[in-house]
Amino acid sequence: MYAYATVLGMAWTCGCGGAQSPSQGGTSAASAQVADEEQYEGIGEEEEAALIPAQTLDEIERFFDRKRRTMVHCFTDALSAGEIGKRTREAWITVSMTITPAGKATSVSIADASVDSPVLATCVKGYVGNWVLPAPPEPLDYSYRFGFSAL
């Protein structure tokens, strides 16, 4: 018996942050701007070069979003292997990696998962490790969560 699944994705990128808003106990807009300027005061050219452009992060996220359907095969393989119970209607798995400037995912691992399935983990790591990803200017530690829902 074959199970059908759809994949829902949610991206988590590493290293993202932002200024604290006044509603979160922060400061006014004018003083927040001064605080931001002070925060970056003294950053040298070498440190500025290490920042990953937002456009590159967006490209990586969109790349993973487009690959969600591919991951359905991993989920159905795990269901067929009996590693995911028939009553499990939803599952997710977070894959972590370092993306090199050549667009290769290295140190691919499973950071977290809602199910314990070696078949699912091996399949996801195999796909991610073989993809050519959008290339960041510097190595980038990145995580992405794939969500699965059985129909």
Domain that holds residue 104: 5-150
Mean pLDDT in the chain? Answer: 76
* pLDDT tens-digit readout, 63-75: 999 999 999 999 9
Nearest to 110 by CA among 131, 99, 88, 126: 126
**Total domain count, the chain:** 1
**pTM given for the model:** 0.67
| Rg of the chain in Å (alpha carbons) | 19
- Predicted pLDDT of residue 50: 60
- Predicted pLDDT of residue 42: 47
- Predicted pLDDT of residue 132: 97
- Predicted pLDDT of residue 128: 97
In order of 47, 84, 123, the CA distances from 116 in angstroms are 40, 8, 13
